[in-house]
Amino acid sequence: MKPLIVLASVFGLTLLLTYTFNAREDLYLAGRLALAVMLLFTSLAHFVFMKGMVLMVPPFIPMAIKKTMVTVTGVIEIIAAAGIMIYETRVIAGYALVIFLAALLPANVYATQRRVNMEAGDFTGPGIYYLWFRIPMQLFLIAWTAYFAIIHPYPH
């Protein structure tokens, strides 16, 4: 839920600011900037909530590899945030981010089944019913990325 609040807040604020200073809103800039800020926000969880993020990885994977995976995926989110904001890289970054978001869905399903509470770093999470929110959210983020970074990547 927090990532969507960040996404919507930055999107709305950017629309307001671009309208205020340019006499017209910049929908595409707002969409990309909101996504980039959201990715920076979610990447923080990989470092701040490492213990909980590690619980999202199956137990048969050694701990050192789990921590590396969590760190690398956090770094990928930071790179993707930059990539969608850079004119020359935003389309390829958009495609890569769509693939990345789709690839993360099984980890989110697995974590939900185990009731992982990422912030607490334990197994007190909301459980399987969270998927009714998480799956549509993930699909929404994929569609948002496709629209703002792939379909409409350049200023009009």
pLDDT-based confidence at residue 80 (cuts at 50, 70, 90): very high
Contacts of 114 (CB under 8 A, 6+ apart): 55, 123, 125
Taking the C-alpha atoms of residue 22 and residue 95, their distance in angstroms, rounded to an integer, is: 30
Q: Are 145 and 35 in contact (CB under 8 A)?
A: yes
- Count how many domains the chain has: 1
Distance of alpha carbon 108 from alpha carbon 116, whole angstroms: 9
Q: Which domain holds residue 66?
A: 2-150
Q: How confident is the model over 37-57, as pLDDT tens digits?
A: 999 999 999 999 999 999 999
In a domain, 155, yes or no: no
pLDDT tens digits along 87-129: 999 999 999 999 999 999 999 999 999 999 999 999 999 999 9
Q: Does residue 11 form part of some domain? A: yes
Pick the more confident residue, 22 or 13: 13
What predicted TM-score, i.e. pTM, was given to this entire model? 0.93
Does residue 156 lie within any of the structural domains?
no
Distance CA 24, CA 66 (A): 46
> What does the mean pLDDT of the chain come to?
95
Q: How confident is the model at residue 155 (pLDDT cuts 50, 70, 90)?
A: confident
Residue range 14-37: mean pLDDT, rounded: 93
H/E element, 18 = helix 2-22
Does residue 27 sit within a domain? yes
